[in-house]
């Protein structure tokens, strides 16, 4: 099997793939620190960068046999690292409590962990009607715009806005009763 770290790059006519354990070990040894530094520069958090680096190399290991020699292994690896970090940053922004129901305020005296808040929010969403929960999930978990939700549910935008407001108000009221 062709090892991209030894010998010339194959031509496009005869594409080669990586896939054995030695290729992965070579990639890891050569690039783990650089991938970590890339993650650190994007996240500004050493623990997150370590976690991301580990996840990236797990992903690379599972996709090693799909690597085509159209680019250098470093280019392929850095693009995976960059895209993975961007995805994780986007996900963490979507999960930010400040982005969930507008106007939701937590009392200062009731400091609760994010995990507990998430569990409470999930339980409260389950108490709403399917339509209300769906609207809130589309808007705040999936990040769809009013226009996109309107098209998806085949309702006009003003109806979506009003239903979202009512659903948020109801959720805020339920959340307040829980003591948060």
- For residue 109, the domain's CATH number is 1.10.10.10
Q: How high is the pLDDT of residue 51?
A: 93
A 10 A CB-CB count for 66 gives 10
pLDDT at position 14 over 60: no
A 10 A CB-CB count for 122 gives 10
Confidence of residue 10 (pLDDT cuts 50, 70, 90): very low
Q: What is the chain's Cα-based Rg?
A: 23
- Cβ(80)–Cβ(34) under 8 Å? no
Please state the length of the chain: 180
Q: How high is the pLDDT of residue 165?
A: 92
Q: Do 117 and 64 share a structural domain?
A: no
A 10 A CB-CB count for 21 gives 9
pLDDT tens profile 98-142: 444 555 554 443 444 566 767 777 788 888 888 888 888 888 877
**How many domains does the structure of the chain reveal?**
2
Please state the separation of Cα 83 from the chain's center in Å: 10
Write out the residue range of the structural domain in which residue 50 sits.
Answer: 12-94
Q: Is the pTM of this model over 0.85?
A: no
Q: How high is the pLDDT of residue 17?
A: 43
């Amino acid at each position: 099997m062709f090892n991209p770290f030894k010998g010339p790059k194959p031509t496009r006519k005869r594409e080669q793939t990586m896939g054995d354990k030695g290729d992965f070990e070579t990639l890891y040894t050569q690039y783990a620190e650089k991938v970590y530094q890339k993650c650190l520069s994007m996240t500004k958090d050493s623990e997150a960068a370590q976690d991301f680096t580990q996840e990236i190399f797990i992903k690379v290991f599972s996709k090693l046999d799909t690597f085509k020699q159209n680019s250098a292994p470093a280019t392929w690896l850095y693009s995976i690292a960059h895209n993975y970090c961007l995805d994780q940053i986007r996900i963490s922004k979507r999960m930010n409590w400040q982005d969930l129901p507008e106007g939701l305020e937590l009392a200062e005296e009731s400091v609760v962990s994010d995990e507990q808040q998430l569990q409470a929010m999930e339980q409260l969403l389950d108490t709403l009607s399917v339509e209300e929960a769906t609207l809130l999930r589309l808007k705040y978990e999936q990040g769809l715009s009013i226009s996109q939700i309107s098209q998806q549910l085949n309702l006009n935008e003003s109806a979506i806005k009003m239903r979202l407001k009512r659903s948020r108000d109801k959720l805020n009221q339920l959340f307040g009763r829980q003591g948060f």
